[in-house]
Structure 1
Amino acid sequence: MFRIRKIAIDTYPENTAFLLRSGNGYGVEQFKALRKIEVTADRSAILATLAITDDPGIVGQGEIGLGEQAFRRLGQPEGSLVSIAQAKPPVSLEAVRRKIGGDVLSDSEISAIISDIATYRYSPMEIGAFLVACAGFMTTQETLSLTKAMADVGNRLHWHSPLVVDKHCIGGIPGNRTSMIIVPIVAAHGLIMPKTSSRAITSPSGTADTMEVLANVDLSVERLRSIVASENAVLAWGGRVNLSPADDVLISVERPLRIDTFEQMVASILSKKIAAGSTHLVIDIPVGPTAKVRSQSEAVRLRKLFEYVAGKIGLMIDVVITDGSQPIGRGIGPVLEARDVMAVLRNDADAPGDLRERALMLAGRVLDFDPAVEGGRGYARALDLLASGKALAAMERLIEAQGRQAIVFNAGPFKHEVLASADGAVAAIDCHLMARIARLAGAPMDKGAGIDLLRKVGEQVRRGEPLYRIHAQSETGLGFARELAAGDPGYRIAP
Structure 2
Amino acid sequence: MLKIKRLAIDTHPENTAFLLRHGNGYSAEQFQALRKIRIGSETSEILATLALVDESEWLAAGEIGLGEQAFRRLGLPEGAEVVIEQARPPVSLEFVRRKIDGDTLEDSEIVAIVRDIAAHRYSPMEIGAYLVACAGFMSTQETLSITRAMADVGEKLDWKSQLVVDKHCIGGIPGNRTSMIVVPIVAAHGLIMPKTSSRAITSPSGTADTMEVLANVNLCARDMQAIVSKEHAVLAWGGQVNLSPADDILISVERPLRIDTFEQMVASILSKKLAAGSTHLVLDIPVGPTAKVRSQSEAVRLRKLFEYVAGKLGIEINVVVTDGSQPIGRGIGPVLEARDVMAVLRNDADAPEDLRDRALLLAGHILDFDPELKGGRGFARAMEMLASGAALEAMERLIDAQGRQSEKFTPGEFTHEVCAPLDGRISMIDCHVIARIARLAGAPMDKGAGIDLLHKVGEQVRKGEALYRIHAQSETGLGFARDLAGEDSGYEVLR
Tell me which interval the TM-score lies in, with the shorter structure as reference length.
over 0.9
Q: Any idea what the Cα deviations from partners look like across 1:311-331, whole Å, max 9, x if unmatched?
A: 111110000001111100001
- Aligned residue for 2:278, secondary structure, equals coil
Q: Is the 8 A contact 1:333 1:438 kept in 2?
A: yes
Q: Any idea what the Cα deviations from partners look like across 1:201-223, whole Å, max 9, x if unmatched?
A: 33211111211221121111111
Residue of structure 2 equivalent to 1:387: 387
Residue of structure 2 equivalent to 1:136: 136
Q: What is the 5 A alignment of 1:170-209?
A: 170-209=170-209
Matched, 1:442 2:460: no
Q: What is the 5 A alignment of 1:441-480?
A: 441-480=441-480
Deviation at 1:182, TM superposition (A): 0.4
Question: What one-letter code is carried by the residue in structure 1 that aligns with 2:236?
Answer: A
**Aligned mates of 1:412, 1:153 — CA distance in 2:** 40
Residue of structure 1 equivalent to 2:334: 334
Deviation at 1:36, TM superposition (A): 1.1
Residue of structure 1 equivalent to 2:323: 323
- Aligned residue for 1:167, secondary structure, equals strand
Residue of structure 2 equivalent to 1:89: 89
Matched, 1:397 2:397: yes
Q: Is the 8 A contact 1:198 1:248 kept in 2?
A: no
Deviation at 1:449, TM superposition (A): 1.9
Residue of structure 2 equivalent to 1:494: 494
Matched, 1:374 2:364: no
- Aligned residue for 1:111, secondary structure, equals helix
Q: Any idea what the Cα deviations from partners look like across 1:16-61, whole Å, max 9, x if unmatched?
A: 1111111111111111111111110231111111111111222211
Question: What one-letter code is carried by the residue in structure 1 that aligns with 2:302?
Answer: L
- Aligned residue for 1:374, secondary structure, equals coil
Deviation at 1:145, TM superposition (A): 1.0
Q: Any idea what the Cα deviations from partners look like across 1:378-424, whole Å, max 9, x if unmatched?
A: 11111111111111111111111112223222222222111100101
Residue of structure 2 equivalent to 1:159: 159
Residue of structure 2 equivalent to 1:425: 425
**Aligned mates of 2:479, 2:137 — CA distance in 1:** 39
**Aligned mates of 1:33, 1:409 — CA distance in 2:** 50
Q: Is the 8 A contact 1:59 1:65 kept in 2?
A: yes
Deviation at 1:437, TM superposition (A): 1.6
Residue of structure 2 equivalent to 1:255: 255
**Aligned mates of 1:489, 1:101 — CA distance in 2:** 43
Residue of structure 2 equivalent to 1:280: 280
Question: What one-letter code is carried by the residue in structure 1 that aligns with 2:114?
Answer: I
**Aligned mates of 1:483, 1:255 — CA distance in 2:** 24
- Aligned residue for 2:83, secondary structure, equals strand
Residue of structure 1 equivalent to 2:244: 244
Deviation at 1:483, TM superposition (A): 2.2
Question: What one-letter code is carried by the residue in structure 2 that aligns with 1:344?
Answer: V
Q: Once structures 1 and 2 are overlaid, which stretch shifts more, 481-490 or 282-291?
A: 481-490
Q: Once structures 1 and 2 are overlaid, which stretch shifts more, 224-233 or 274-283?
A: 224-233
Deviation at 1:162, TM superposition (A): 0.7
- Aligned residue for 1:455, secondary structure, equals coil
Q: What is the 5 A alignment of 1:43-54?
A: 43-54=43-54
Deviation at 1:440, TM superposition (A): 2.1
**Aligned mates of 1:55, 1:409 — CA distance in 2:** 41
Question: What one-letter code is carried by the residue in structure 2 that aligns with 1:119?
Answer: A
Matched, 1:222 2:222: yes
Cα separation, partners in 2 of 1:47 and 1:58, compared to 1, 3 Å? same
- Aligned residue for 2:195, secondary structure, equals strand
The ranges of structure 1 where at least 4 consecutive aligned residues each deviate by more than 6 angstroms after the TM superposition are none
**Aligned mates of 1:231, 1:57 — CA distance in 2:** 52
**Aligned mates of 1:356, 1:282 — CA distance in 2:** 17
**Aligned mates of 1:374, 1:392 — CA distance in 2:** 24
Deviation at 1:356, TM superposition (A): 0.4
**Aligned mates of 2:200, 2:192 — CA distance in 1:** 24
**Aligned mates of 2:58, 2:216 — CA distance in 1:** 32
Q: What is the 5 A alignment of 1:281-300?
A: 281-300=281-300
Residue of structure 2 equivalent to 1:57: 57
Residue of structure 1 equivalent to 2:77: 77
Question: What one-letter code is carried by the residue in structure 1 that aligns with 2:458?
Answer: G
Question: What one-letter code is carried by the residue in structure 1 that aligns with 2:105?
Answer: L
Matched, 1:415 2:409: no
**Aligned mates of 2:445, 2:388 — CA distance in 1:** 35
Q: Is the 8 A contact 1:202 1:258 kept in 2?
A: no
**Aligned mates of 1:282, 1:418 — CA distance in 2:** 36
Q: Any idea what the Cα deviations from partners look like across 1:189-212, whole Å, max 9, x if unmatched?
A: 111101111222332111112112
Q: What is the 5 A alignment of 1:356-367?
A: 356-367=356-367
Deviation at 1:107, TM superposition (A): 1.2
- Aligned residue for 2:240, secondary structure, equals coil
Question: What one-letter code is carried by the residue in structure 2 that aligns with 1:334?
Answer: P
Cα separation, partners in 2 of 1:145 and 1:295, compared to 1, 3 Å? same
Deviation at 1:304, TM superposition (A): 0.3
Q: Any idea what the Cα deviations from partners look like across 1:133-164, whole Å, max 9, x if unmatched?
A: 22222111111111111011011111111100
- Aligned residue for 2:175, secondary structure, equals coil
CA RMSD of aligned residues (A): 1.2
TM-score relative to the length of structure 1: 0.98
**Aligned mates of 2:446, 2:98 — CA distance in 1:** 40
**Aligned mates of 2:134, 2:209 — CA distance in 1:** 28
Deviation at 1:279, TM superposition (A): 0.4
Question: What one-letter code is carried by the residue in structure 2 that aligns with 1:88?
Answer: R
Once the two structures are aligned, what percentage of the paired residues are identical?
77
Q: Any idea what the Cα deviations from partners look like across 1:232-272, whole Å, max 9, x if unmatched?
A: 11111111101101011111222222322111110000000
Deviation at 1:484, TM superposition (A): 2.0
- Aligned residue for 1:84, secondary structure, equals strand
- Aligned residue for 2:268, secondary structure, equals helix
Q: Once structures 1 and 2 are overlaid, which stretch shifts more, 466-475 or 72-81?
A: 466-475
TM-score relative to the length of structure 2: 0.98
Residue of structure 2 equivalent to 1:231: 231
Q: Once structures 1 and 2 are overlaid, which stretch shifts more, 391-400 or 357-366?
A: 391-400
Residue of structure 2 equivalent to 1:98: 98
Q: Is the 8 A contact 1:201 1:254 kept in 2?
A: no
Deviation at 1:103, TM superposition (A): 2.1
Q: Is the 8 A contact 1:425 1:461 kept in 2?
A: yes
Q: Once structures 1 and 2 are overlaid, which stretch shifts more, 212-221 or 310-319?
A: 212-221
Question: What one-letter code is carried by the residue in structure 2 that aligns with 1:218?
Answer: N
**Aligned mates of 2:89, 2:430 — CA distance in 1:** 44
Deviation at 1:473, TM superposition (A): 2.7
Q: Which runs of 5+ in 2 are unaligned?
A: none
